[in-house]
Structure 1
Amino acid sequence: MEMEKFNFEELKVYQKSLTLIDKIYAQTREFPKEEVYGLTSQFRRAAISISLNIAEGSGSSNPEFRRYLQISLNSVKECVVCIEIAKRQNYIHSEEYEIYRKDLAELSKMITSLMKYLSRK
């Protein structure tokens, strides 16, 4: 039997946001234990918020979906701060930092493009 799919699951931006969550969970498992309620929790929640808001806003009116996408975009910015802190605290290496920056920039562009597309409809 084929599993029922929701429309938002087809969005590339949603799929990319899930990939980011996977990376962040793997990365934060390596953070110091004293960060479990600090940076680890905040980083994970910010990443999850990106996907949740894409999903929650989809299927709504275009203005409403754009509002949720703006919240997702704000969560991307939160993740940028989290990786900056992680780098400054030597929790991640420069190479990982650069990969995260690239991934987050790409996700930001995808969200912004979707917002612009919805504005034209």
Structure 2
Amino acid sequence: MAYRRPAVVTVAGALTWLAGVIDIVIGVVLLAQSGVSVVVLEFGGAAQLFTSAIVALLFGAILFFAGGGLLSAKNTARIVATGAHGISILAALVPALLLPSVFFGSWVGIAASVIVIVLLFTRPANDYFREDH
């Protein structure tokens, strides 16, 4: 009999995948905006804009592949996803606390990351990642 993936793992994997896709889209949009002087000035220069775009793309790729690993019962993916979501929480705290214009979006991101981390360490998830599939 095939082992069924718990719903908590499916939700955590889907949210991690979605976070990765969103970060990749943000990275692509930032790269596309590198020729717009107003955007470049907002970032404090082209180097900062380019760095932000590359970090978003890399972080998005990590989350995207971790989400796939979660859905495939890879415990390494659970560790990577937990670390990535932890970094995401820390990175979102500054805008959430200091920038009123992005207040809501930052808190939504923080909440989603906390939910994923909690889901990944529930009893059904622990059993799922512990077993051989």
Question: Normalized against structure 2, the TM-score is what?
Answer: 0.57
Tell me how far apart the structure 1 counterparts of residues 71 and 15 of structure 2 sit (CA, whole Å): 16
CA contact (8 A) 1:87 1:97 kept: yes
Q: Which has the higher helix share?
A: 2
1:52 correspondence with 2:65 = yes
Q: How many residues are treated as equivalent by the alignment?
A: 109
Q: Which residue of 2 aligns with 1:110?
A: 119
1:68 correspondence with 2:77 = yes
Q: Which shifted more, 18-27 or 104-113?
A: 18-27
Q: Which residue of 2 aligns with 1:16?
A: 15
Tell me how far apart the structure 2 counterparts of residues 38 and 89 of structure 1 sit (CA, whole Å): 22
Tell me how far apart the structure 1 counterparts of residues 99 and 128 of structure 2 sit (CA, whole Å): 40
CA contact (8 A) 1:46 1:78 kept: no
CA contact (8 A) 1:14 1:54 kept: yes
Tell me how far apart the structure 2 counterparts of residues 49 and 92 of structure 1 sit (CA, whole Å): 27
Q: Which has the higher contact order (CA 8 A, sep 6+)?
A: 2
1:82 Cα offset (Å): 2.4
- Which structure: larger Rg? 2
Deviations 1:42-64 (A, max 9, x none): 244324312312424654xx6xx
1:72 Cα offset (Å): 1.4
Deviations 1:10-55 (A, max 9, x none): 9322221232234445666477454433334324432431231242
Q: Percent identity between the aligned chains?
A: 1
Instruction: Calculate the aligned-residue CA RMSD, in Å.
Output: 3.6
Gaps of 5+ in 2: 31-38
